[in-house]
Amino acid sequence: MKFRHVALAAVLTLGFATAAQAQVKGPVKIGFITDMSGVYSSLDGPGGTAAIKMAIHDFGGSVLGRKIELVTFDHQSKADLAAAKAKEFFSQDGVDMLIGGTNSGAMLAIEPLAAQYKKPFIVIGAGASTIVGKQCNGYTSLYAYNTTALARVTAGAVIKHGGRSWYFLTADYAFGKALEVDATKVVEADGGKVLGHVMAPLGASNFSSYMLQAQASGADVLALANAGGDAANSIKQATQFGVTKKMKLAGLLLFITDIHSVGLPAAQGLYLTAPWYWNLNAESRAWSKRFYAQMNAMPSFSQAGDYSAALSYLKAVKAAGTTDGAKVMAELHKMKVNDMFIHNGSMRPSGLMIHDMYLMQVKTPAESKEPWDYYNVVQTVPGNEAFGPAAAYGCPLDK
Amino acid sequence: MTEIFGVPVSLLLGQLLLGLLNGTTYAMLSLGLAVIFGLMDEVNFAHGAFFMMGAMFAWMGGQYFHLSFWWMLLLAPLLVGLVGLLVERLMLRRLRGMDPIYGLLLTFGLALLIEGLFRTFFGVSGSPYNPPELLSGVLNLGFMYLPLYYVFAMVASVVVCFGTWLLIERTKLGSYLRAGTENPSLVQAFGINFPLLVMLTFAFGSALAGLAGVLSAPIVQVSPLMGSNLIIVVFAIVVIGGMGSVMGAIVSGLALGVIEALAKVVYAPISSTVVFILMAVVLTVRPAGLFGKEK
């Protein structure tokens, strides 16, 4: 009994000693919390981890003379799990910054913790504009895209091509609702009409009854305010149930991994908005080839975004000469970002990264020249036009 | 959203058809549960896991061994039946004569274990499983387009359900089963190998769950969690139909599918709870279930 107590005390002391030491000289730690196994895992997940590791490698593996380390966590699309782990990362594990993956609900739950612990939190995979809305806090950045930009660019394009009346199939949580609200604004501002909506739970997998409801609405456009596996399944089932015979589909958030799983015959002609595409230019192609060698799939824009976020953070740490959250954030706000992923990027005070977005159209099977050759770039939309005026977000820091 | 008369007929018909399809899945699952409960007084909580295994086996067969849907339609239920057989022979049999709560706990634990294993290897994300080439067409019914596979799944399930009913109600083997339900020791006294009968019944019930899993695979995503999402509803259906009643399980399974669909048209948010509301009502009015006998 006594021996056990002594042993326990020894272990605890040693543990504390190493923890204390870690704070002084240990590695710079990057945390990555995303969906590693659920509906959103193919568009971010393990591929995102690989991308961040590439960034650490490309940066040389160390910064300010300290090794760079990556710790990851699978939040399983559960907001409570995500928040609990983020808290542990910040308060116990000495994580210096956090890259947020998919699922806006989970990211909104983490956001206040970033401010509480004064650690940079860069959100990539999730896109609810509310992240940089009223609850913006100076430590959180929405870096790759958001629902406002998706709605403005995609909905604008679809209306221009004759889709006047809309019906929404919406993912029943923060992201889907934000996307629907943003798209509704655009549709109504451009003189279109929204006839109704149906909410489907995340990961519903069988959308057949929702398809019937959409068909019965008589709208021109079925807008998919969902993402990942859900979007892929909705497109497949919309084709199966003959929805596409009378209605046009508008995928408000589509990743290339979704198009890959749906296949071109069902996805051809779809308009979509993205901040990046692997086949955009020589630089993106070179990076994607490296990614492909590891993951056996082309990177989605969120995976490329994970890479860029890690790289920008490390550059900011180097420039600031410290990992102190406030100072690094100040550096990030000052930086002009131009890398493999971001073109003409600069951060608004709210934390929203403004950069060029692209309107794409999915190629027909005949147009596609090689595997993963899926998009035609229809238009490059400058950042401020895509993301819209700062006032619309309602972040107090923007004023 | 609450208007009933504002609903277009095509929408109503379409939803009813999809409801009927869900109903056949429910019926097949609750049938397996009812057969097992009837003979063994055993609530098999691993039923959802068996359903999931059926679907996962089908997917794995295609993925790793390039076996077609038709092969897996045959093989997957057999494999699941074999798992059921082993579970009965090696574990459940030891609990016979003890409080049923032990069997319940055992099967519940098994369900968690099986799901956990599949989750570890395959993650929680679904994998698509495409219907066979032969059935990948679409049927134009005038009021809706219906994928051919849905028709096949519906017909196959109904055939299997009524085949099972005939087997139990109209054959000699079925009469042993029914007698065993009433009085096991007397049946044994007549020289029938009752333990063997129980083992085969459990295997058969499990195989039915596996078959339902294979049939569902092309309609929903195949995932380790697909069973646990469904099983609670199926338990409610068995309670509504009457524990152990074969006909009750089939009829209430089909009916509940249709009622769910109607609820979707009338007031969508209630569609996922309507089963439990009905269960509460049935339990108050007829505690033994609609087709159950008071014991």
Structure confidence by residue, pLDDT tens digits, A237-265: 898 888 888 899 999 999 998 898 888 88
Interface test with B, best of A170, A240, A260, A262 (most B CBs within 10 A): A240
Chain B hits for A231, CB-CB cut-off 8 Å, are none
Q: Which residue has the tokens 């990851």?
A: A72
Better-scored residue on pLDDT, A1 or A246: A246
Partner-chain contact B223 A212, CB within 8 Å: no
In chain A, list all ranges with CATH 3.40.50.2300: 27-145+281-354, 148-274+357-385
The residue among B239, B254, B199 whose CA lies nearest residue B36 is: B199
Q: Nearest-CA distance from B19 to chain A in Å?
A: 9
The residue among A119, A93, A140, A51 whose CA lies nearest residue A317 is: A119
Q: Where are any strands of DSSP class E within chain A?
A: 28-34, 62-63, 66-74, 97-100, 121-123, 140-142, 165-171, 193-200, 221-225, 248-251, 271-274, 346-347, 353-354, 357-362, 375-381
pLDDT interval class at A109 (50, 70, 90): very high
If one looks up domain B9-285 in CATH, what number appears?
1.10.3470
Residues paired with A359 in a beta bridge: A273, A379
Looking at chain B from residue 23 to 62, which residues have their Cβ under 8 Å from any Cβ of chain A? Answer: none
- Burial class from Cβ neighbours inside 10 Å (0-12, 13-18, 19+) for residue B198 reads buried
The region of weakest confidence among A29-38, B123-132, B239-248 is: B123-132
Pairing type for strands A62-63 and A66-74 reads antiparallel
The region of weakest confidence among A19-28, A372-381, B56-65, B234-243 is: A19-28
Alpha-helix residue ranges (DSSP H) falling in chain B: 9-40, 47-65, 69-90, 100-122, 148-170, 172-182, 184-189, 194-216, 226-241, 246-266, 274-285
Chain B hits for A206, CB-CB cut-off 8 Å, are 219-220
Cα distances (angstroms) measured from residue B21 to each of A60, A390, B28, B241:
58, 49, 11, 18
Alpha-helix residue ranges (DSSP H) falling in B66-124: 69-90, 100-122
Closest chain B residue by Cα to residue A38: B125
Q: Which of B124, B145, B150 sits opposite A242 (nearest CB)?
A: B145
Q: Which of B119, B123, B221 sits opposite A205 (nearest CB)?
A: B221
pLDDT at residue A2 is higher than 90:
no
pLDDT at residue B125 is higher than 80:
no
Residue B120 in contact with partner chain A when CB distance is under 8 A? no
pLDDT at A165 (0 to 100): 94
DSSP-assigned states of every residue in A140-184:
EEE-S--HHHHIIIIIHHHHHTT--EEEEEEESSHHHHHHHHHHH
- As a whole-number percent, the residues of chain B with pLDDT over 90 amount to 44
Better-scored residue on pLDDT, B14 or A11: B14
Residue B18 in contact with partner chain A when CB distance is under 8 A? yes
Q: Nearest-CA distance from A75 to chain B in Å?
A: 12
pLDDT at B178 (0 to 100): 84
pLDDT at B59 (0 to 100): 92
- As a whole-number percent, the residues of chain B with pLDDT over 70 amount to 96
Indicate the SS3 state at residue A68. Answer: strand
Closest chain B residue by Cα to residue A40: B125
Closest chain A residue by Cα to residue B140: A242
SS3 content of chain A, % helix, strand, coil (to 5): 50, 20, 30
Cα distances (angstroms) measured from residue A177 to each of A148, A207, A224, A249:
12, 18, 11, 18
pLDDT interval class at B113 (50, 70, 90): very high
The region of weakest confidence among A184-188, A377-381, B185-189, B266-270 is: B266-270
Indicate the SS3 state at residue A371. Answer: coil
What's the maximum distance between 2 C-alpha atoms anywhere in chain A?
A: 81
Rounded-to-integer distance, Cα A267 and Cα B157, Å: 32
Pairing type for strands A165-171 and A121-123 reads unpaired
pLDDT at A246 (0 to 100): 86
Closest chain B residue by Cα to residue A198: B268
pLDDT interval class at A37 (50, 70, 90): confident
When the pLDDT of each residue in chain A is averaged and rounded to a whole number, the result is 90
Residue B216 in contact with partner chain A when CB distance is under 8 A? no
Cα distances (angstroms) measured from residue B180 to each of A6, B97, B196:
62, 15, 12
CATH topology of domain A148-274+357-385: Rossmann fold (3.40.50)
Size of interface A-B (CB pairs under 8 A): 64
CATH topology of domain A27-145+281-354: Rossmann fold (3.40.50)
- Token readout for B221 is 């995503």
Question: What residues contact A186, with CB distance under 8 A and at least 6 apart?
Answer: A151, A152, A155, A156, A159
pLDDT at B228 (0 to 100): 82
Closest chain B residue by Cα to residue A242: B145
Hey, where are the domains in chain B? 9-285
**CB of B49 closer than 8 Å to CB of B110:** yes
- Phi and psi, residue A72, nearest 5°: -125, 160
DSSP 8-state code for residue B171: S
Helical (H) or strand (E) element with B140: strand B138-140
Q: What average pLDDT does range B108-115 have in this prediction? A: 93
| A46-68: pLDDT as tens digits | 999 999 999 999 999 999 999 99
| A316-348: pLDDT as tens digits | 999 999 999 999 999 999 999 999 999 899 999
Length of chain A: 399
pLDDT at A21 (0 to 100): 46
Indicate the SS3 state at residue A339. Answer: coil
pLDDT at residue B14 is higher than 90:
no
Cα distances (angstroms) measured from residue A84 to each of A33, A92, B87, B119, B189:
11, 12, 38, 22, 61
Q: Nearest-CA distance from A39 to chain B in Å?
A: 5
Q: Which of A208, A209, A229 sits opposite B125 (nearest CB)?
A: A229
- As a whole-number percent, the residues of chain A with pLDDT over 90 amount to 72
Partner-chain contact A242 B15, CB within 8 Å: no
pLDDT at residue A20 is higher than 50:
no
Closest chain A residue by Cα to residue B121: A37
Residue B16 in contact with partner chain A when CB distance is under 8 A? no
Partner-chain contact B124 A37, CB within 8 Å: yes
